[in-house]
Amino acid sequence: MKRELPLVITALVGLVMIVEYFFEIPGASTAAKEMQDWAIIVAAFALAVAAINLALTHARNISQKRPGWIHSVLLIVSLIITTISGIFLGMDSGAFSFIFNNIITPCGAAFYAMACFHLFSAAYRAFRAQTPQAAALLITGVLVMLGRAPIADVISPHLPSIANWLMQVPNLAGMRAVTISAAVGMIGVSLRILVGIDRTHLGIGQE
């Protein structure tokens, strides 16, 4: 029963959402809205559990003085201050806005800036023109980067047009193909979950 009940609930919720989206049946919209509200509540509790688990994990690092425990101290202090300021002072308060605008946003920008160096290194290794496909990728990447650079018009007046054509025709066609493939795959996975074939989302494996 412990395994069948989650499968039944999953199937019923999925069917209600499908029926509400494709058909106009009285009561289906209300039921779907209620389920969406419950999903938000469950997600909020899951986030709280994850935050508690994160705090406990780093508390153990501090108590056992593991390497890098000072970073765990900073994380827990930041978590407590941000939580208190957001819950008790409000997200529009000066303290919470200061934390978000002067700490979280700059750290996020720094993270993405550092990620650019890793992407550049990976692109350098991937763009080695050892095959015709790699050569085409290398030439396309160089043309797009030069065409989007501020000095594109100085190098050649045709570079911006070439870059725009590459982004709007071949790139757009490829992205649509990827999107359609992902949608078909998502439909297949959803059907497997609804009929109970795929049970990995419940942590009980496939049978």
Together in a domain, 2 and 82: yes
Together in a domain, 49 and 112: no
Does the pLDDT of residue 205 top 60, yes or no?
no
Residues 6+ apart with CB under 8 A from 94: none
Range of the domain at 106: 93-126
Q: What is the rounded distance in angstroms from the CA atom of residue 37 to the CA atom of residue 207?
A: 32
Q: What is the rounded distance in angstroms from the CA atom of residue 8 to the CA atom of residue 15?
A: 11
5 inside domain: yes
Together in a domain, 3 and 82: yes
Q: What is the pLDDT of residue 207?
A: 46
pLDDT tens per residue across span 49-66: 998 999 999 999 899 888
Together in a domain, 29 and 112: no
199 inside domain: no
Residue 122's pLDDT band (cuts 50, 70, 90):
confident
Residue 179's pLDDT band (cuts 50, 70, 90):
very high
Mean pLDDT of 166-185: 92
Greatest mean pLDDT among 95-99, 135-139, 196-200: 95-99
7 inside domain: yes
Q: What is the rounded distance in angstroms from the CA atom of residue 130 to the CA atom of residue 193?
A: 42
Mean pLDDT of 1-25: 79
143 inside domain: no
The number of distinct structural domains making up the chain is 2
Together in a domain, 82 and 5: yes
Residues 6+ apart with CB under 8 A from 53: none
Q: What is the pTM of this model?
A: 0.56
User: Do 157 and 165 form a contact (C-beta atoms < 8 A)?
Assistant: no
Together in a domain, 64 and 38: yes
Together in a domain, 73 and 54: yes
Q: What is the pLDDT of residue 204?
A: 59
Q: What is the rounded distance in angstroms from the CA atom of residue 50 to the CA atom of residue 33?
A: 26
